Amino acid sequence: MPILNRVSDMYDEIAFWRRHLHQHPEIGFEVHQTAEFVARRLEEFGVNEIHRGVGQTGVVAVIRGRHGDGPAIALRADMDALPIVEAGGQPHASTIEGAMHACGHDGHTAMLLGAAKYLAETRNFKGNVVLVFQPAEEIGSGARAMIEDGLFDRFGISHVYGMHNMPGIPVGDIALKRGAIMAASAKFTIRIHGRGGHAARPHTTIDPIVVGAQIVGALQTIVSRTVDPIAPAVVTVTRFAGGTADNIIPEAIELWGTARALSMADARHIEERVTAIATKTAEAAGARVEVDYNQSIPVTENDTDEAAFCTRIAREVVGDARVDAETVPVMAGEDFSHMLDRRPGTLVFLGNGASAGLHHPAYDFSDEAIPAGVSYWIRLVEGKLSP
């Protein structure tokens, strides 16, 4: 079964929403206009329930099927943009200086609205579909905020599904895998307190720059020497800050970094090693260290049965040749992982073609992916909640 005809009819309207959202990006939890735009459209569609302000600025809607009672499943889209100055000169470019939909969440939101419109019209399922429009994905807090606001219990959700566009995959193709599809993501700050002094009298100081350099070097051994070589992991130091002049050894410096892994066991191992290396290296030099380690995003883990189900749905929608059911995982993190931690489900990638990469100033969501994405959502609901 190919792209739904009704979805093709709705294409112009969905693309119009997408471009409107692209012109008005909002960041983090401050997605007030976006949430209002979403809620207004949902009112027009005549969904059964609309809840504003779930997890601060999230919106949740419920559509009841016309075939009686059944489970409730959730479809999730993220609404937030990034603090990037947009490069593209297209007519629908951002009108907000320093904010940009550079991750395609404008497309995710518009596609879920398209699915909502169709599902509210046809209701050809049993049970409930719960539409989840989430804030603050890019800062890794929105999914957790909605969960802590009772998302799963309030709406009786048994399964949860997500979708993210992916540059480099042909437009409208669908890629997924069972198990880990996106990485656990941690951020860390290491503050090294030495003893400052004259640069020409180093023996009277404890030089935090030398300690920091040793720590950066030693951190490189975590992945290369202590993680199984066939298990992907990353430790990257992204900032090395301190010092004021060529003749002063500073009191303190600061390192920032991030770690990624495709298993929580590796993620916890890396946390333990970063902390131990920083602490022991500083101790050996007589310096003091503070380590803030924030294991903020778990592995995005697709349930085996649900990945098989979603593969079948994707093949129905776009055809066997355009579905990759064993895609390569990516080492970026996605806070939808918090939802998959609580309920079984699947995150799929929707091809965005040869666009600029995610988070790049020249990126743009590809509207040509809309029919595949919206049809996938609809068929997923009608398949999972079939009467």
Residue 162 or 371: the one with the smaller Cβ distance to Zn ion is: 162
Minimum CB distance to Zn ion, residue 229 (Å): 29
| Residues at the contact surface with Zn ion, assessed by CB under 5 A | 103
Minimum CB distance to Zn ion, residue 25 (Å): 12
Minimum CB distance to Zn ion, residue 334 (Å): 7
Minimum CB distance to Zn ion, residue 364 (Å): 14
Residue 125 or 365: the one with the smaller Cβ distance to Zn ion is: 365
Minimum CB distance to Zn ion, residue 227 (Å): 25
Residue 165 or 311: the one with the smaller Cβ distance to Zn ion is: 165
Using Cβ positions, the residue closest to Zn ion within the complex turns out to be: 103
The three-state (H, E, C) secondary structure of the chain, written as one string: CCCCHHHHHHHHHHHHHHHHHHHCCCECCCCHHHHHHHHHHHHHHCCCEEEEEECCCEEEEEEECCCCCCCEEEEEEECCEECCCCCCCCCCCCCCCCCECCCCHHHHHHHHHHHHHHHHHHCCCCCEEEEEEECCCCCCCHHHHHHHCCHHHHCCEEEEEEEEEECCCCCCCEECCCEEEECEEEEEEEEEECECEECCCHHHCECHHHHHHHHHHHHHHHHHHHCCCCCCEEEEEEEEECCCCCCEECCEEEEEEEEEECCHHHHHHHHHHHHHHHHHHHHHHCCEEEEEEEEEECCEEECHHHHHHHHHHHHHHHCHHHEECCCCCECCCCCCHHHHHHCCEEEEEEECCCCCCCCCCCCCCCHHHHHHHHHHHHHHHHHHCCC
Residue 103 or 157: the one with the smaller Cβ distance to Zn ion is: 103
Residue 165 or 205: the one with the smaller Cβ distance to Zn ion is: 165
Residue 29 or 125: the one with the smaller Cβ distance to Zn ion is: 29
Minimum CB distance to Zn ion, residue 165 (Å): 8
